[in-house]
C-alpha cells in the first residue's frame, strides 16, 4: 500500500512540475475549463460529456508526454542537434493532431447547440 501512495505522489509531483514549467499545459487546461463551462451551460448529454472528458484527458496526456519527451531529449542531447530538434517537433506535432481532433469533436458537439 505504501508503494501505491508513493506512486501517486510521484505522479502528482510530475503534474505540479509540468504545470510550473509548461505554458502549453496551462493553455490546454484553460481551454478545457472553458469547454467544461460551455458543456454545463449548453446542458450536453451524458454521452457527449463522456466524449468531451475523454478528449480533454487525451489532449492533456499528450501534452504531458510531449513535455516528458522534450525533457528527455534535452537530457540526452543538451547541445543543439538537428535530429533532437526533429524529435521534439514530431512530439509537438502529436499534440497538435490530438488537439485538432478534439476541436473537431467539440465543434460537432457544440455547433448545433450554439447556432
Residue 12 belongs to some domain of the structure: no
- What is the CATH classification number for the domain harbouring 41? 1.10.287.3610
Q: Indicate whether 2 belongs to any domain.
A: no
Number of compact structural domains in the chain:
1
- Flag whether 80 is in a domain: yes
In a domain, 16, yes or no: no
**Which pLDDT tens digit goes with each residue over 36-86?**
999 999 999 999 999 999 999 999 999 999 999 999 999 999 999 999 999
DSSP label at residue 43: T
Q: Which domain range does residue 27 map to?
A: 23-114
Considering only CA atoms, which of 82, 88, 83 is closest in space to residue 67?
88
Determine the pLDDT at residue 101. 98
- Give pTM, 2 decimals: 0.91
* Inside any domain, residue 14: no
CA distances from 97 to 26, 63, 90, 102 (A): 18, 11, 10, 9
pLDDT digits (tens, 9 = 90+) for 86-109: 999 999 999 999 999 999 999 999
Residue 56 lies in a domain: yes
Amino acid at each position: 500500500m505504501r508503494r501505491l501512495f508513493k506512486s501517486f505522489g510521484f505522479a502528482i509531483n510530475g503534474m505540479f512540475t509540468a504545470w510550473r514549467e509548461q505554458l502549453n499545459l496551462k493553455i490546454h487546461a484553460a481551454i478545457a475549463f472553458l469547454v467544461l463551462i460551455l458543456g454545463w451551460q449548453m446542458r450536453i448529454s451524458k454521452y457527449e460529456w463522456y466524449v468531451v472528458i475523454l478528449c480533454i484527458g487525451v489532449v492533456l496526456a499528450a501534452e504531458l508526454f510531449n513535455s516528458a519527451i522534450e525533457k528527455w531529449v534535452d537530457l540526452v542531447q543538451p547541445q543543439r542537434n538537428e535530429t533532437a530538434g526533429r524529435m521534439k517537433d514530431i512530439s509537438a506535432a502529436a499534440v497538435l493532431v490530438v488537439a485538432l481532433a478534439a476541436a473537431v469533436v467539440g465543434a460537432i458537439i457544440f455547433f448545433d447547440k450554439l447556432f
